[in-house]
Chains A and B, each alone.
Chain A
């Protein structure tokens, strides 16, 4: 199974430990698998270019009526 060789790094808890509150403290960019972080700068640059321009207004304007 993939992941067995990673066993020795287990035990590190990453991300938000107290998710119900705005813990504020960032997870200090927890050590991700390096393959995943490779090329991330380019990816974020590209996404910057496609994100709707006024985030606050756009998110506020997305109002739905109830569904199932």
Chain B
């Protein structure tokens, strides 16, 4: 498999209504989902207000082999409960209700739209106090970049829709991971793995890699410490928020390796590795390397060829690496060696070259078509960082951001704690192309593109063709009116005149592809005929 494997991304966007400070963030987030629902209802035949099906969610299952009792879990861990706001809750929170923003909850209560499945196979919902886009399942790092960027297009469309509504304050969305006031929110990756790989091997193989991969895919941050109070610039948005090596939590005591064990697939065959340590990336090359190199490292773990430099104190080293923009700081290993973060990345790259030469995955002719490109790009960026980091300003997000900040510091003589530098850091990630500074650099040709704007637009509407996301997305596009719920591993139909709902399980991530089901969608304009042939 190597760089080719089932994967996906989740992005929680920072949300801000500058003209309405103090507005309830959950309510604002629900307005984002609702605004996008209004747009897609215009586009899709049946609307895409498909509810989430929570049947198979199990957020308290731990990959190390046990389950946390519900009563001892932090409330934020109970992600298998629908988070619907009732009118009473909103009133208590001081939020306002207007008729347009309310949808009938269907069970007598009035609820805002909090959760929808999109025609591209993604999920858009309110997670805690942020709007979150979870990409459809894809099979390679380039598609991961494409359908992750599609989430930014979805976020932008929602922002524009809200801006047209004079009853609502303008809402800004930011693809970042902290407010620099001690709060962080995540961007997660998911990778499908065979269940038989012992979890301990995943921990030892991944930890040194995760401590150092921020060199490739850190998004850069102004401010040091969780509250950003110490002046300075660091590689990663997230590093200062990690406090444990391994654990189940994602909102408190965040661990470098997260053990949530919800496969959303056939549980005795697969695990879904839930990675919470990454920064949200706008830079396409950083995002590509984040998914591509991690997938290759997982392949080495599965084959027992992963290098095992054991870091003496991973949590402290994670922060130290993030704080060291000179890239010369030393990381202490348990065998007594002291090496740089670049050295550790080189160890992984070298092992990956050997591994993929052996498996043939990186062969230019007979390889999988992705692994060779990831390895070449990985090597190129590491070489740039080792010789002259500024060369990577068009590729690596933290280098690009640092370059812009340094230009401002030079021109205006700004100290690192000047609020304008904090504003540049924040506005870097504004999803609006006219305001977002990443987007300004992109339009000037200063950030390298791997996928075109047209590609991204298409991905915000169309699902990938080579995973079950194709089935989910096409069902919603074709038969939205007849679908009452969907999740990663199910689509639920309600046909007119039938009392029972029909749940179609999609537990194999590589089935439901265009090759397997495309003709079926072509043959049936209506859900009844489609289901009859599918289930016969």
Give A residues with C-beta under 8 Å from B. 1-4, 6-7, 9-10, 13-17, 19-24, 26-27, 29-30, 32-33, 36-37, 39-40, 43-44, 46-47, 50-52, 55-56, 58-59, 61-68
Number of A-B contacts (CB under 8 A): 182
Measured between beta carbons, the chain B residues less than 8 angstroms from A29 are 406, 410
Given the complex of chains A and B, what is the CA–CA distance between A7 and B252 in angstroms?
44
Chain B, Cβ-Cβ closest to A13? B326
**B435 proximal to A (CB < 8 A):** yes
A-B contacts, 27 listed (Cβ < 8 Å): A7-B387, A10-B387, A14-B390, A15-B233, A16-B326, A19-B326, A20-B232, A21-B230, A21-B231, A32-B390, A37-B407, A43-B444, A43-B446, A55-B419, A58-B18, A58-B426, A59-B180, A61-B21, A62-B14, A64-B25, A64-B178, A65-B26, A66-B185, A67-B12, A67-B129, A68-B12, A68-B127
Beta-carbon contact of A33 and B251 below 8 Å = no
Q: A19-B324, A61-B21, A67-B12 are in contact. Are A3 and B391 (CB under 8 A)?
A: yes
- Interface size of B as a range: 35 or more
In the complex, which of the residues A2, A7, A68 contacts B188, with contact meaning CB atoms closer than 8 Å?
A68
In the complex, which of the residues B326, B410, B415 contacts A17, with contact meaning CB atoms closer than 8 Å?
B326
In the complex, which of the residues B130, B391, B434, B446 contacts A2, with contact meaning CB atoms closer than 8 Å?
B391
Q: Mark B68-88, 1 if CB is under 8 A from A, else 0.
A: 000000001000000000000
CB distance from A6 to the nearest CB of B (A): 5
In the complex, which of the residues A22, A36, A39 contacts B416, with contact meaning CB atoms closer than 8 Å?
A22
Beta-carbon contact of A61 and B18 below 8 Å = yes
Given the complex of chains A and B, what is the CA–CA distance between A56 and B426 in angstroms?
12
Stretch among B146-154, B338-346, B376-384, B511-519 lining the A interface? B376-384
Measured between beta carbons, the chain B residues less than 8 angstroms from A16 are 232-233, 325-326, 416
Beta-carbon contact of B325 and A10 below 8 Å = no
Beta-carbon contact of A67 and B128 below 8 Å = yes
Given the complex of chains A and B, what is the CA–CA distance between A21 and B133 in angstroms?
36
CB distance from A25 to the nearest CB of B (A): 10
CB distance from A3 to the nearest CB of B (A): 4
Measured between beta carbons, the chain A residues less than 8 angstroms from B101 are none
**B417 proximal to A (CB < 8 A):** yes
> For chain B, what secondary structure do more than half of its interface residues adopt (helix, strand, loop), or is it mixed?
mixed
Beta-carbon contact of B417 and A46 below 8 Å = no
CB distance from A17 to the nearest CB of B (A): 5
Q: A30-B406, A64-B129 are in contact. Are A51 and B251 (CB under 8 A)?
A: no
Given the complex of chains A and B, what is the CA–CA distance between A59 and B419 in angstroms?
7
CB distance from A13 to the nearest CB of B (A): 5
Q: A6-B391, A51-B427, A55-B423 are in contact. Are A19 and B224 (CB under 8 A)?
A: yes
Beta-carbon contact of B419 and A56 below 8 Å = yes
Given the complex of chains A and B, what is the CA–CA distance between A23 and B407 in angstroms?
17
Given the complex of chains A and B, what is the CA–CA distance between A56 and B128 in angstroms?
27
Q: Mark B171-214, 1 if CB is under 8 A from A, else 0.
A: 00010001111011110100000000000000000000000000
Q: A6-B391, A52-B427, A68-B12 are in contact. Are A63 and B179 (CB under 8 A)?
A: yes
Chain B, Cβ-Cβ closest to A11? B387
Q: A22-B230, A50-B434, A55-B420 are in contact. Are A1 and B379 (CB under 8 A)?
A: yes
